[in-house]
Amino acid sequence: MLYKVLAFFQFIIIVVLIVALGSHYVSFGGSSLVVRTPEAPGESTVEYTPPPPPKVMVESLAQIKELKEAFTPTIVKVTDDIYYARGYSLGGVQMVITDEGLVIIDTTESLDAAREILAEFRKITDRPVKYIIYTHGHVDHIVGAPVFMGPDTQVIATEDCVEFMKKDFGWLAPFQRRCRKIQSGDMDSEYARKPPMQSKVRLSHTAGEKDIVWPTITFDQEYSFELGGKEFKLYHTIGETPDHLMVWLPREKALFPGDLYYASFPNLHTPMLEPRPVRGWYESLDRMAQMDAEYLIPGHSFEIIGAPKIKETLEAHSAGIKSVFDQTIECINQGLSVDEAAAKVKLPPDLAARKHLQEVYGRVDWSVRGIYQGETGWYDGHGSGLNPLPPSYTNREVVKLAGGADKLLVRAIELQKANEHQLACELCDVVIKANPKDKTARAIKADSLDYLGYQSGNLNMFGFYRSAAAMERKAAGVKPH
């Protein structure tokens, strides 16, 4: 009996100690966490006079001239048997003539563009198309394939390309179409300002699995075939996409790199899409640089002729990508935020000065953000981002503290007049997130977005800004002045 009494008192003592120790961390009667929905501010009443339409910066005029040349429909005779159709659309098409038929490399994003190109090719040769090769599964390389198909045409791609296409044209097709429409500046275009040059991008915004010609021959790492006395070697070279390949004609010393090379700092990350395999990109370029090619025919921009120039260009392109990747990884390991890294990472001066590494299509800061997305998680470790409230909560509090939406928008207009358009847009965003019905905030933001686009000097940025401005104007119910 005494043993049971002692055991009972021991139990009581242990419970008291546990409660005493835990009382610093566990509340048995304290207040619960408060999550309060702040009141939405009223719509602004500030008077707004739109600024004059933006003009293209002088520095951008040379780029526009070069873009116009790149997008002038042209059939380039690279050799007696190799032709390159560029300028008909965003994606180019290459034709290799053999004694037994044709090999077509990539097919553009447009059936209409493909028909125009085939009509020009038919002025050169009437031989049947025996093979179509997809360098990768992006829309601007495969949608035109039905135009080139004959009764016996085989379509070659990597095994990964099939899976890539299933995603982009299958379960993620609506999202992909929306992203591409925004990227090309074609979203709500009736509300957009007229661009300084007519776009040659002819993306299909309806293409789905049923509209695509699927590969009939797939391979893992390497594939080769002969046709009419020409040898074709295909190698899986990841970079812009995981499914990417290059085409090598060893006797002709002709290299088709797909989208792993074009005359711009590469688009290592498209802001609305998945991260890209950046390490694979520069490793693939290193591999190409060792092939002693005499002819380099890319999927976009201009061809390069001459082994020394090709080798030097590919090596510099690889070095630029590797430098950005290595610097970004160092920032990650130092614990820098993605915003800090995007401001810090730069191309080395000798590479930044090279014409083919100018940021006319891809951007270094976007690349940094893409590498962070691919190499790290979404949480930054600072607590408030672990379980965030909807953006409207904080923004409604900020609008209230500022004294109302009018106060913020008056300042946004001042910033707009001072050519501080990014900050003007961000102040407008505070008002819009607090009250999405505020039309004045959207109108102010749309005009500043136009200026950002015209001052960007970057083809992708212009498209993104043009679409964003159009979407804000549509929400505000106004057309460009």
Distance CA 337, CA 333 (A): 10
User: DSSP secondary structure string, 101-127?
Assistant: EEEEE---S-HHHHHHHHHHHTTT---
Look up tokens 């299509």; give the residue. 361
CA dihedral 243→249→254→260, nearest 10 degrees, is 10
Does the pLDDT of residue 431 top 70, yes or no?
yes
Q: Within a 10 A sphere around the Cβ of 9, how many other Cβ atoms? A: 9
Q: Which two tokens stand for residue 466?
A: 């043009």
pLDDT for position 473? 98
**166-186 CB burial, b ≥16 within 10 A, e <16:** bebbeeebeebbebbbbbbbb
| For residues 334-361, average pLDDT | 96
Please give the class, per CATH, of domain 390-476.
Answer: mainly alpha
- Assign 61 a pLDDT band (cuts: 50, 70, 90): low
- Shortest CA distance to 37 belongs to which of 393, 391, 389? 393
Task: For residue range 235-277, list pLDDT tens digits in order.
Answer: 999 999 999 999 999 999 999 999 999 999 999 999 999 999 9
Q: Within a 10 A sphere around the Cβ of 5, how many other Cβ atoms? A: 9
Distance CA 202, CA 458 (A): 19
21-25, 57-61, 400-404, 424-428: range with lowest mean pLDDT: 21-25
- Assign 100 a pLDDT band (cuts: 50, 70, 90): very high
| For residues 161-172, average pLDDT | 95
- Assign 169 a pLDDT band (cuts: 50, 70, 90): very high
pLDDT for position 59? 55
- Assign 198 a pLDDT band (cuts: 50, 70, 90): low
- Shortest CA distance to 439 belongs to which of 412, 474, 404, 468? 474
| For residues 320-329, average pLDDT | 98
pLDDT for position 202? 67
Residues above pLDDT 70, as percent of the chain:
89
**Angle of the 364-375 helix axis to the 278-289 helix axis, nearest 10:** 120
pLDDT for position 62? 57
- Does the domain made of 66-375 have the CATH classification 3.60.15.30? yes
| For residues 125-138, average pLDDT | 98
Does the pLDDT of residue 349 top 80, yes or no?
yes
CB-CB contact of 375 with 401 (8 Å): no
Does the pLDDT of residue 126 top 60, yes or no?
yes
DSSP E strands in 220-260: the ranges are: 222-227, 230-236, 245-249, 254-256
Q: Name the segment(s) of the chain with CATH classification 3.60.15.30.
A: 66-375
pLDDT for position 196? 74
User: DSSP secondary structure string, 429-475?
Assistant: HHHHHH-TT-HHHHHHHHHHHHHHHHTT--HHHHHHHHHHHHHHHHH
**Angle of the 391-402 helix axis to the 405-417 helix axis, nearest 10:** 90
**Mean pLDDT over all residues of the chain?**
91
pLDDT for position 338? 97
Task: For residue range 437-476, list pLDDT tens digits in order.
Answer: 999 999 999 999 999 999 988 989 999 999 999 999 999 9
| For residues 389-407, average pLDDT | 96
- Shortest CA distance to 372 belongs to which of 336, 320, 322, 323? 336
Q: Within a 10 A sphere around the Cβ of 330, how many other Cβ atoms? A: 13
Q: Are strands 129-133 and 101-105 parallel, antiparallel or unpaired?
A: parallel
Q: Name the segment(s) of the chain with CATH classification 1.25.40.880.
A: 390-476
- Classify burial at 139, counting beta carbons within 10 Å of its beta carbon; exposed 0-12, middle 13-18, buried 19 or more: buried
Does the pLDDT of residue 17 top 50, yes or no?
no
Instruction: Please state the separation of Cα 46 from the chain's center in Å.
Output: 36
98-102, 161-165, 173-177, 214-218: range with lowest mean pLDDT: 173-177
pLDDT for position 24? 53
